[in-house]
Chains A and B, each alone.
Chain A
Amino acid sequence: MSSPTKLACHECDQVVIIPALSDGQKAICPRCGFVFTRYFKKARSRLLAFSSSSLVFLLLSFVFPFLIFTTQGNEKVISLVQGLQSMGSGTYLSVVLFMLATTVLVPVMTLTGINYTLISAKLDKPLPFTRHILKLVFLLQPWNMAEIFLLGILVSMIKIASLGDVQFGWSFYSFVLYIISMAATRVFLDKYQVWQWFRHHDKRAYSYER
């Protein structure tokens, strides 16, 4: 259970007190409807389970063939990273780099960061740079576009359906599993709750009482 905290809503500036919440309960701003937080029992171990499985699925999707494209007897096997690299020239490089960053780099960094901070929260004294890493994890959130990439793959499949035969490789299925477990990770990656874990054992925590 979290203790009551006084704060101002990020979206409308209403001052509220977040009460102790029971399992699955949300705290919603009475003025604008902003969801401050959602409390889950055992959120930490659930987050660890989903974020580590997300990371495993994501890393596995780099290893195997992603797509197998057959046209006029020619078979082309494409892996995720190789597929992203192959058009790396000219001004279009920027688009490729953007896609690489938002679908590979950001997810890997985010998941590694979450797992690092979770280990850190288990220890008596947090690991170095925990707060910086946690900040980065939350700042990168809107730039994780892996699920959009997946939809992009399906769209491109349909566009070339008439030209040849496309088969999904093991990596593709692993990537789908990554998207699913990442969605579960997001449910338990609650800004308010996550920072709260560190405040409990952080003596430097500043409390505002007035």
Chain B
Amino acid sequence: MSAKGVKSDAQLIEPLSQDNVASSNKIVTCAMCYQSSDHQQSECPYCGTVLHVRKKNSLQNTVALLVTSIVLYVPANIYPIMYTTSIGDEIASTIVGGVITLWEQQFYPIALIIFVASVMVPVAKILALSWLVYSVQSNRIISRKNNQVMFRITEFIGRWSMVDVFAVTILVALIERGNLMKVMPGVALIAFAAMVVTTMLAAFSFESRLIWDNPDKNKGKNTNV
């Protein structure tokens, strides 16, 4: 029941066991201030943050937010994100359309950045979180560590999808209305921004400790790899 020491800048080599997880040690550590207290405490005695041994309804909340983001993904890609008017001609452009235009104008790096941030990242995020929910619920674990890494990346990169939303918002502000040129925002701008926020919230509501919870079916000595 003793706690393991942490090797700094290196991983501990000794095999760890299920005996050393907090739930069997009956302690809970505040995610905000790192104060450890008894697992029956509902509030951190030091900073007042609500304590959860496991976040409540984590999977349900994650799934609900994921479904919302999938629903929002459709209008975000079908409808125009902006309208450009120059000398009477109005051109509507979708997110993917904008990427294609940039590519045709030979701005390859920027086209790639937008494609990755606006198209690939949201899809990858939704797939990754769906896999994590499925993996945890059905106890189908290929590698806990890979799942954890996948979750960390998902948490980190989500914000970057906002690039195109910000770029369009700045464009609208930059180009004065009533001139020969006019840039107007489209419906997809809101749909896309809302989708990024919901995927971020979906990641925040996912309880990563669930990745490590269920004991392996094949009772190996090392349960952590």
User: Which of A's residues lie within 8 Å of B, judged by CB?
Assistant: 5-19, 21, 25-33, 36, 67, 69, 71-72, 74, 76, 78, 83-84, 86-87, 91-92, 94-96, 98-99, 102-103, 131, 134-135, 138-139, 142, 145, 148-149, 151-156, 158-160, 162-163, 191-192, 195, 199, 204-206, 208, 210
Contact = CB atoms under 8 A, between A and B. Distances in A.
A188 B23 CA distance: 31
A148 B12 contact: no
B169 A96 contact: yes
Contact of B174 (A78, A92, A205): A78
B174 A67 contact: yes
Contacts of B160: 148, 151
B212 A13 contact: yes
Contacts of B123: none
Nearest to B36: A208
Residue of A134, A151, A156 with most chain B CB atoms under a 10 A cut-off: A156
A148 B170 contact: no
B157 to A, nearest CB: 11
A115 B46 CA distance: 21
B11 A16 contact: no
Interface in B163-187: 163-176, 179-181, 185
B224 interface: yes
15 contacts: A15-B3, A16-B3, A17-B4, A19-B8, A30-B12, A87-B185, A92-B189, A95-B169, A98-B197, A142-B200, A142-B204, A152-B166, A152-B169, A153-B167, A192-B34
Interface in B17-33: 20-23, 25, 27-29, 31-33
